[in-house]
Structure 1
Amino acid sequence: MAEATALEPICEVVVTGPRTSLMQQMAEDLVNERLVACAQRVDPIRSTFRWNGGVDHQVEERVCFHTRASLVPVIVLRVKALHPYDVPCVLAFPVMAVNPAYHAWVITETAEADTDPTGPA
């Protein structure tokens, strides 16, 4: 495995949301826009959080996106535009080590990213 710091940084962006077709559509949109190379959906997850002065519990879905670190600001804007929540969870984690071939694939697949935060015309 190569140290990610020696290469163009990539990261994993995690988004949680409702268990609806919207999360699949968001995953497909970001892959089609080349903002991410891969989207991995994990369903179900059980979330417990404070909201509107109380504790809430929801069964949700988690989507993990693999992308270049430089694309995270645009991805955050796209998720906010596509997501139904007032405050969507969007977290980006650095990749500390990576299979060099996978790293190259992520970089190649996101090289022509649509960086317009409003999405394709």
Structure 2
Amino acid sequence: MTALIVYCSCPDAATADAIATALVEERLAACVSALPGMRSTYRWQGQVEQAQEVLLLIKTSAPRLDALSARIRALHPYELPEVIAVEAAGGLAPYLQWVVEQSGSDE
């Protein structure tokens, strides 16, 4: 099974904490790291915008990606939240296995 790292930017620490806690409690993610102090520049509705954000690095398994994405959309205040997944191409094998195990179903 494949481990993924999912990027999700949040408008503030409270939102980031709420999403991180929900994802881990619901076993959609094994671990979520919040990186404060990110400054984003982006185009939205024809305008160039800038915002201070908190970046979430969400560690999950590939089969949980669709459910994780849906949960982020339900919890996130942005109209179009960032949800970008990249495969963990390498790493410490026991850690990657832990990610897969901890982001498995509750069954």
- The answer to whether the 8 Å contact 2:3/2:59 transfers is yes
Which deviates the most, 42-51 or 101-110?
101-110
Given the alignment of the two structures, is residue 88 of structure 1 paired with residue 46 of structure 2, yes or no?
no
Q: 1:62 aligns with which of 55, 59, 62?
A: 55
% identical equivalent positions: 30
Please tell me whether residue 25 in structure 1 is matched to residue 8 in structure 2.
Answer: no
- Residue 80 of structure 1, CA deviation: 0.4
CA RMSD of aligned residues (A): 1.3
Q: Is the 8 A contact 2:13 2:36 kept in 1?
A: no
Equivalent pairs counted in the alignment come to 107
Report deviation, 1:10.
0.8
- Given that 1:35 and 1:113 are in contact with CA atoms closer than 8 Å, whether structure 2 keeps it comes out as no
SS in structure 1 at match of 2:77:
coil
Unaligned runs of 5+ in 1: 1-7, 115-121
**Structure 2 CA distance for partners of 1:74 and 1:83, relative to 1, 3 Å:** same
| Pairing of 1:1-121 with structure 2 (within 5 A) | 8-113=1-106
Please give the alpha-carbon distance, in whole angstroms, between the structure 2 residues aligned to 1:57 and 1:99.
Answer: 36
**Which sections of structure 2, spanning at least 5 residues, go unmatched?**
none
Task: Give the CA deviation at 1:112.
Answer: 2.6
Q: TM-score, normalised by structure 2?
A: 0.94
TM-score, structure 1 as length reference: 0.84
Task: State the match for 1:117 in structure 2.
Answer: none
- Check whether the contact 1:35–1:75 (CA below 8 A) recurs between aligned residues: yes
Distance 1:109 1:33 in 2: 10
